[in-house]
Each structure stands twice: as C-alpha cells, then as structure tokens.
Amino acid sequence: MILYAAVMALLFTIDWLGGPGWWFFWPLLGWGIGVAMHGISVFGIGGLFGEAWQERKTQEVLEQERR
C-alpha cells in the first residue's frame, strides 16, 4: 500500500510537471482496482468471505461427499 501511494505520488508529480493533460488517473485507477481486489481476497468484505463463510462452505462440501 505504501508503494502504491509512493508510485502514484511520483506519477502525479511527473504528470503535473509535464504539462497539460491528466494521464496519471489511468494507472491510479488500474492499479487501484488491483490493490482493492487483492485486499478483498485477503480480508473479505465485511465477513462476506470470512471464516464463517469458509466454514459453511466446508460443511456443504463434506455433506455432498458423504452422499
């Protein structure tokens, strides 16, 4: 996350010094989506894919295998 912020600050500075036309939004958006998706996969969204969900899915798979 710190690297993302540092690179975006650097790209903003380069874009700002480079003249008209704001292009730094595109890498900000693209990489930001990637960082957000990684965060969701690691931490889940408010428990949507947390430990309780994982436990329910594990129990569902075990029940299917027993049949």
Dump pLDDT digits (tens) for 13-39.
Answer: 999 999 888 899 999 999 999 998 888
Which domain covers residue 29, as residue numbers?
2-66
The rounded mean pLDDT for the chain is 87
Here the tokens at position 59 are 């129990």
Q: Which residues contact 4 (CB under 8 A, 6 or more apart)?
A: 31, 32, 35
Counted domains in the chain = 1
| CA 39/CA 16 separation, integer angstroms | 29
Q: What is the pLDDT of residue 51?
A: 77
**Cβ atoms of 35 and 1 closer than 8 Å:** yes
